[in-house]
Structure formats: structure tokens, C-alpha cells
Amino acid sequence: MRLLAALALATALSQFHRAALGVVGPELAADLGGGPGLLGAANAAFFLAIALAQVPVGLALDRIGPRKTVAWLTLPAVLGALVQAAAPGGEAFLLGRFLLGLGCAGSFMASVVLSARWHSGEKLTTALGRVFALSQLGILMAGAPFAAAALGLGWRGAYVLSAIVTAGAGVVWWRWVRDDPPDKPASTRPAETLAEALMGQVTVWKTPGLLPVLAMHCVGYAAMVTVLAVWAGPYLADRYGLSPEARGLVLTAMGLVLPAGQLAVGPLERRWNTRKWLVAGFAASVVVVLTVLALWERPPLWVAVTLLLLVAALSCYPIVVVAHGRSLFPDHLVGRGATTVNIAQTVGSAALPALTGWAMATAPPGEGYGLAFGTLAVALALGLAGYLCGRDARPRG
């Protein structure tokens, strides 16, 4: 139970730091003299840092273990949150986001590695579903609670508070996490030299079936988080004039429906005994919803909110893609395999906010959000097409 709580806390904080920008984005951009391009670049900096860190994080997870890896990464996470709070301008804020991304680079993949060590087969997706569903508490905290903190303390004070919480979470991680279950101590795994560890990374990239998984993972989570963490708040503010508190409530609702889907997807996988077609069905549905948002310039507010909620609810499938990716690798390569798969997600999560930010900045007046949502729909459709070229990975063989 302590392990689950520690994994949930670490991943929830990572989710919080990803999503917190959305609810204070308009006010923050105005104070720092930026615009939509700054918001897109800020989220891109966060995910770029995660992407750059994945190879060394993968090596660290396999060589020194998740416990030490995440504990050390707490330091740049805390520093990044403080730099965000003190940033005098856009460039300093981007630096803070980059440091924060480095600090969050190991949270999810450490959870994947630990879940894979404690669970296997069809149990893995359920375990991941529980951790990732609980991690959505971070998105909830980035909604109405963070909006309230920003209202009382200012957005800078709210980011200082986030740094304090992040430091406390690092202490909890160190005290509660152990790298192996009692019946599988670390000594039973073969030791590797550094050269062997690096060759293991080469082996990961040569794994059959990897490219289709990377294609899907590049855009599946990235499309959802770009909507939730970057554009949902500004969209509701610009199109409908919603206050920070009202925007926060919508983001909170989006953060509630996503874990509901994540908890349901594990039983669906067991029932249907397929990963490929489960992912395909959910991803295609998100493409449809994003297309409606792109083409319908100003739907009634309740319709717009419903569509945003659907994007979140239907985006539960990336954990199935993670389980698909994990099934490709032997146990001694699980850290490097998981982080390699995660590189695709983080690259996409850096590229799509930047790409949609550019679209917003260059689009004719009134057309920016449609172009942004349309870009996400096209990117997700392309990723799905690549994924469908690969083989299924049935949880029961």
C-alpha cells in the first residue's frame, strides 16, 4: 500500500506540473509579456527536457534502481518550480519549465518499472491503470485548487507552494519505495557493466514491433495533454469569457473523467484480450472529437465543455500502449525499454504544444483554436495509422 501511495504521489506531482500552466496561462503570459506562443513554448520546454533525459534515466533505472533515480531528480524539480515562481520574463520561465521537466523525467517510468517488477501479463495494465488513475489527482490539484491558490497568493506564490510540496514528495518517495518485491531481491538480477548497459540500449532499439508502438505513443498522450494543459483554459477564456475559477472547474472535471477511463481500460483489455484494437478504438474516437472541435467554430458552451470532457475520458488508452511496449522487452531491459517508449511520448508532448502554439500565433483572427484542434486531430490520425501496421500483443498470449 505504501508503494502504491508513493507511486501515485510521484506521478500525481508530475501530472500537476504538466497541467498547472493551463489554469493561470492567460494571466502568466500577460505578466511576462508573452502570448499564446509563450504558453506553447513553456509546455514544449517541459517535455523536451523529459525527452532528453529518457536514455540516461533508463540506464539509471536498470543500474541504480527507481528509488535512487527519482530521489536525485527531486532536486532539479524543486529548483525548476522556484525558478518559475521568480521568473522576470519569458526566457527565465522557460528555463524553469525545462528544469522542472528534468525533475519529472523519471516519475512515470519508475512507476512502470516498479509495476512491471511486481506484476506481469494481464495484471500489468490493471496495476498501471491504478497508478495512472491516482496520478490524475495531480490534474485535479492543477484545476480549481491551484486556481484558488493563485487567486490568494498570486501565480508566483502558488508556484512556490508547489516547490515545497515537491520537496516533501521526494522525502516520502525515499522512505516508502523499495526497488524489488520481497520474493525478487535485486541480487537475483545479473549485474551489467556500463558497456553492456549501453549495448542493451542498442538492443532495445532493434526490438521487432517497437516502431508501431512509438508511432502511437508519440501522439496519444500528447494530444490529450496539449488540450488539457495548454489550450482548454485559454479556449474557454477567449471564446466564452470564463473566469480562472470557472476554467479551473472545467479542468478539474476533465481530470476526473480521465482516471475513470483508466480504471476501466484494464478490465476491458482482459475481457477482449487485445491491446491493439482497444487502443485503435479509443484513439479513433478522440480523432473524431478533435475534428468536431476544429470545425465547429463556436458551439454552445455546454457542447464545448462536453467535447473537452470526451477528449479526456477517451484518452485512457496510452497506458495500454505502455503495456504493449513493455511486453516487447525482457526483464533486464525493462527500464531502458520503458524509457525508450516514453521518448516518443515526450517528443510528441514537446512538439504538439509548440506546433499548435505556432498555429495559434500565425492563424487569422478567430481561426486559431480550430487550426490547433485540427492539427492535433491530424497528428493523432497519423500516429494511429502507424500503430495499425504493427502486431497485436494479447495479454493472455
- Residue 179: the pLDDT is 83
- Residue 121: the pLDDT is 61
Per-residue pLDDT band for 190 (boundaries 50, 70, 90) equals: low
pLDDT of 187 higher than 50:
no
**Element at 343 (helix H, strand E):** helix 334-362
- Residue 377: the pLDDT is 97
- Tell me: the pLDDT tens digits for 220-271? 989 998 998 788 988 998 889 888 788 888 987 887 888 888 888 888 888 8
Residues 320 and 224: their CA atoms lie apart, in Å, by 15
187 part of a folded domain:
no
Averaged confidence pLDDT in the chain? 86
Q: Is the dihedral of CA 352, 138, 141, 80 positive or negative?
A: negative
Residues 152 and 16: their CA atoms lie apart, in Å, by 19
Q: pLDDT above 70 covers what percent of the chain?
A: 93
What is the phi-psi region of residue 258: left when phi exceeds 0, alpha when psi lies from -120 to 50, beta otherwise?
A: alpha
The x, y and z cell numbers of residue 294, run together, are: 476544429
Amino acid at 386: G
pLDDT of 31 higher than 50:
yes
Point out the least confidently predicted range of 37-41, 59-63, 354-358: 37-41
Maximum mean pLDDT: which of 22-31, 114-123, 194-203, 382-391: 382-391
317 part of a folded domain:
yes
98 part of a folded domain:
yes
Maximum mean pLDDT: which of 178-182, 246-250, 326-330, 331-335: 246-250
Higher-scoring residue by pLDDT: 187, 301: 301
335 part of a folded domain:
yes
Maximum mean pLDDT: which of 13-22, 31-40, 138-147, 306-315: 306-315
- Residue 229: the pLDDT is 78
Mean pLDDT score, 12-20:
87
Q: Residue 217: how many CA atoms within 13 Å on its side-chain side?
A: 26
Task: Note every long-range contact of 183-189, with CB atoms under 8 Å and residues 24 or more positions apart, other chains counting.
Answer: 184/117, 186/65, 189/331, 189/332
Point out the least confidently predicted range of 13-22, 242-251, 326-335, 370-379: 326-335
- Residue 183: the pLDDT is 66
51 part of a folded domain:
yes
- What pTM, to 2 d.p., does this model score? 0.74
- Residue 73: the pLDDT is 96
- Residue 12: the pLDDT is 92
- Tell me: the pLDDT tens digits for 66-89? 999 999 999 999 999 999 999 988
pLDDT of 113 higher than 80:
yes
Amino acid at 384: L
148 part of a folded domain:
yes
pLDDT of 182 higher than 90:
no
Short-list 351, 136, 320, CA closest to 226:
351
What's the chain's length in residues? 397
395 part of a folded domain:
no
Count of structural domains within the chain: 1
Mean pLDDT score, 375-383:
96
Q: What distance, in Å, lies between the first and last C-alpha atoms of the chain?
A: 29
Query: Residue 372 in contact with residue 231, Cβ under 8 Å?
Result: yes
CATH code assigned at 92: 1.20.1250.20
- Tell me: the pLDDT tens digits for 229-242? 788 988 998 889 88
Per-residue pLDDT band for 184 (boundaries 50, 70, 90) equals: low
Tell me how far the alpha carbon of residue 253 is from its chain's centroid.
17
83 part of a folded domain:
yes
Domain that holds residue 65: 2-175+198-387
pLDDT of 389 higher than 90:
yes
